[in-house]
Amino acid sequence: METTSSFRVTEFATARAHELALLREQVKCLGGRKQVFQSLPWHLRRRTMSHQSRRLPRKWKIKTQDIDNRPSIGKNKCRKYRRKAKYLRENLKKRLTRQDRLETHLWFAKRFHRKQYFGYQVPWCSVDRKERSAYRAMRDRVVVYDASLVDWVLVEDKQSNILEGLEKVVREKEKPILREPLFLLGKAVLHTFLQGDDDHPTETSIVQVLLAPRNVSNDDDICKALVCTQFLGYHQVRESVIRSMFGNTARTKPLMMNRFHAIGPKSLTMIRRCFQWIQEDWKNVQDNAVDDATTPLYILRCWIPQGFHMGFPHFCASSRIETSPPSLDWLEDMEKWTASSSISNVAKTDIHLTVILIPRALVTSSGKSVGKWDILVPSGFGSSFLHAARHMGAQVVGWKEYRRIFFECEKLHFPEDFPQSFLYKDAATMNTFENLQQFVKKPPAKRGTNLLPFSVFPTLWNQLGKTPSELVSVWNAVKNLLLQMVEQGSLDNGLTFMQQLKTHSYWSDNVLWTNTSLTNTDEKSLVPVFIQLIGKGCSSIGAPLFVPGEQDIPMFRKTKNLQLSKGQERKLVGYVTQASYSFANGCFCGIGYISSVYQPREKWNSVIIPRTTKCTDFIPAKCRQLKSNLIFDF
C-alpha cells in the first residue's frame, strides 16, 4: 500500500469549505428546533411532555378556551412574577378582605399568638411573654387593646324615628330607667339597660350609639346614627338587632372601623403625642373630662401631608379638635375611608382624616381613677395607629392579657363575650346546643393557670343584693334552659347531662367530676345556694367553694351544724358560677349547680371561705369586685 506524505491544498480546502458553509448557515438560523450540529443522538433524547406536565394537545386547546374566545390563564408559579409589587398588592387586598380576620391581622401576626374566636382570628397573647410588663404598663403608663371585633351599622332615617327606636329599646319590658340617656348633638350616648329598684340596680347590657342629627328643631329631617352592637358570631344577628330597634323603614349600612381601648394613667398623654394635638386643645380636654354615662365625643381633625410616614413615630403631622358644633362630616369621612381603605403607611397625597375620641370612666375599688379612652380610627389606618402608639410608650396587649389586666383591676365580667339583654336573647339561645363550644368557654378552675374563672351564664349576671326568694325566677329560667338542652342533646349529640353541666360551670376537675354520675335531671338535681359569710373580707362572682379542713377550725368555731374532724384536708370543690352579696346583711346569696356528693361514712357540706388576710393563699387575689359607674366594658 502506497503512502504519500503530501496532499494538495486546493482539494482539501474545497472539501472543507462546503462543510464550513453548512455550519455557518446552521449557526445563523435561530428558529429551528432541529439542527444538524446541535441535536442529541436518539438514545439521549427525552420527550418534552415530561417537562411540561400540564401541556394540552393542540387539538384540545380550542375546547378549553372561554366563551369570549380568551385562553384560560392560570396562576404563574414563577417566583419572580410572584414577588412583583402589583401581585403583592393584589394578594394583600385579598387577605385584608377576608371575613375571618381583623384589619390589623398582619400587624399582630408576627408579634402575637392568635386564637379562633367566633370564627375570627384574634390576637391572644404576645410571643415574648410580656404579661408582667403589661401589668406595670397599665399601672404606670398605658396599654392599647384592639377591640375591633364589633359590628358598626350606620342608620339613616328621620330624627324622630331614630329617637323613638332608641327610646323603645331602653324602655323595653317597661324597665325603670335610673339614668335617662340624653340624645344630644355630637354626644356619645351609652345606653344602659337597667332593671331593679333604686337601692339595688342591675345593669344587664350596654349599646353604644353615636348620634349626630342634622337639625335639632325639626324632627322630620334625615339624620344618621352610628350604632355599635356586640358581635355574636355571625352578621345576620346584627341585621336582626337593628331591625328590631329601628324597624324596616330605616336605611342601614355596615361600616368597617378600627376601635382601640387605651387604658392607663398616661392614656391622654399618649393620645396627645400620637396625634400631635395643639397644646391649648389638650388642656381643654384635660380640664373638661367628665365621668358620666353620657360622655362627650371629641372629633379630632388630623392632617397628613404628602410623603408623611404614618406611625413613625407620629400618626399625623398635626391635629385639632373641632370646636364648632359637630355636623355629619365625620360620619361621611368614615364612609369614605370604608369604601377606599389605605394600604401604604406613606401618604401619597394630602389626607384630612377624622378620628373619634370617647373618654370612659374607670375607677378601682381603692378609689384610684384609671384613664380609659375609646379611639375610633377609619378603616385602613389601624396598623399605623398601633405603630405610633408603640413609639409613644404604649404597650399593645392581646385578648388574654387584656382579660388578666382587668382581673388585676378587680373586674370579673366581660359582656362582649356573652351578651345578655332581651335584645340578644333569641340570638344567644338559637342553636345553643350546636354552638355550645363557641358560646360557652370553660377555663380550668385551678389557681395559677393562665385562664381564671369568670361568669358564663348571661341571665345570671350581676344579681347584686338579691335575696333567695328574688332569685327563684332567674333560677327557674336557667334550670328550664338546661333541661331543654339535655333533651336536645340526649337525642342528637349524645352528651350526658353531667358533661353539659360541667361545661356551664367552673368546678374543679379533680374533685367533683371524677367519679360522679347524675342520671336524674329533675328539679332536685339543680338547686340554688344560700351561704353565710364567715369573717370579714370581699367575696366575688368567681369565689371558690371549699370543703373546710383542719386548719379552718378556728374560723368556724361559731358556726353551727358544721363538724370538722382532725386530719381532714381542705379540698376545692369548685367555683360559684353566679353570686351576689350584701355587706349590710353579711350574707352571700349565690346560684350553684350542686349534686349530692356522698363520701363513705360522711356527707360533705360545701362552705364558702371569703377573702381574708388569712386565706389569701387559697383564693385568687384577682377575684374582687370593681366599683365603677360604668360596670360593663363594651
Statement to judge: residues 564 and 599 lie in one domain: yes
Across residues 111-120, what is the average pLDDT? 80
Inside any domain, residue 480: yes
R_g of the chain, CA atoms, integer Å: 35
Statement to judge: residues 155 and 140 lie in one domain: no
Statement to judge: residues 544 and 476 lie in one domain: yes
Inside any domain, residue 235: yes
Inside any domain, residue 630: no
Statement to judge: residues 493 and 562 lie in one domain: yes
Amino acid at 9: V
Contact 387, 378 (CB under 8 A): no
Single residue among 238, 257, 276 that ends a domain in this structure: 257
pLDDT recorded at residue 210: 66
Contact 359, 296 (CB under 8 A): yes
- Which has the higher per-residue pLDDT, 203 or 473? 473
Domain count, the chain: 3
pLDDT at 470 over 90: no
Confidence label for 348 from pLDDT (cuts 50, 70 and 90): confident
- Which has the higher per-residue pLDDT, 295 or 201? 295
pLDDT tens digits, one per residue of 350-367: 888 888 888 876 665 455
Alpha helices in 430-471 (DSSP H): 436-439
Q: Give percent of the chain above pLDDT 70.
A: 36
Statement to judge: residues 249 and 287 lie in one domain: no
Question: How far apart (Å, rounded) are the C-alpha atoms in residues 421 and 435?
Answer: 19
CATH number, position 366 = 3.30.1360
Confidence label for 306 from pLDDT (cuts 50, 70 and 90): confident
321 bridge partner residues: 300
Domain encompassing residue 227: 150-257
Confidence label for 234 from pLDDT (cuts 50, 70 and 90): low
pLDDT recorded at residue 63: 55
Statement to judge: residues 179 and 328 lie in one domain: no
pLDDT at 76 over 70: yes
pLDDT recorded at residue 389: 92
Confidence label for 3 from pLDDT (cuts 50, 70 and 90): low
Inside any domain, residue 52: no
Statement to judge: residues 165 and 209 lie in one domain: yes
Contact 456, 579 (CB under 8 A): no
- Which has the higher per-residue pLDDT, 290 or 143? 143
Inside any domain, residue 371: yes
- Which has the higher per-residue pLDDT, 270 or 342? 270
Of the ranges 34-48, 63-77, 290-304, which is most confident?
290-304
Which DSSP string do the residues of 391-441 spell out, in sequence order? Answer: HTT-EEE-HHHHHHHHHHTT----TTTS--SGGGHHHHHTTTTTTHHHH--
Provide the 3-class DSSP secondary structure of residue 164: helix
Task: Indicate the average pLDDT of the chain.
Answer: 59
Residue 382 in grid coordinates: 389601624
Inside any domain, residue 53: no
Statement to judge: residues 236 and 382 lie in one domain: no
CATH number, position 249 = 3.30.70
Inside any domain, residue 315: yes
Statement to judge: residues 180 and 253 lie in one domain: yes
Single residue among 367, 393, 408 that ends a domain in this structure: 408
- Which has the higher per-residue pLDDT, 634 or 162? 162
Q: Give percent of the chain above pLDDT 90.
A: 3
Give me the half-sphere count of Cα atoms (radius 13 Å) on the Cβ side of residue 478.
23
Of the ranges 205-214, 325-334, 414-423, which is most confident?
325-334
pLDDT at 144 over 90: yes
Inside any domain, residue 441: yes
* Span of 22-36, 134-148, 438-452, 476-490 with lowest mean pLDDT: 438-452
Residue 566 in grid coordinates: 382532725
Confidence label for 503 from pLDDT (cuts 50, 70 and 90): very low
Which DSSP string do the residues of 175-244 spell out, in sequence order? Answer: PPPSS-----TTEEEEEEEEEE-SSSEEEEEEEEEEEE-S-SS-TTSEEEEEEEEE--SSTHHHHHHHHH
Statement to judge: residues 319 and 203 lie in one domain: no
pLDDT tens digits, one per residue of 584-611: 222 333 333 333 333 333 333 333 333 2
Question: How far apart (Å, rounded) are the C-alpha atoms in residues 632 and 232?
Answer: 17
pLDDT recorded at residue 385: 92
Confidence label for 419 from pLDDT (cuts 50, 70 and 90): very low
- Which has the higher per-residue pLDDT, 495 or 537? 495
> Nearest Cα to 147, choosing from 286, 301, 260?
260
Statement to judge: residues 157 and 112 lie in one domain: no
CA distances in angstroms from 46 to 39, 54, 58, 136, listed in the order given: 12, 17, 20, 69
pLDDT recorded at residue 230: 63
Across residues 412-421, what is the average pLDDT? 33
pLDDT recorded at residue 32: 54
Statement to judge: residues 165 and 299 lie in one domain: no
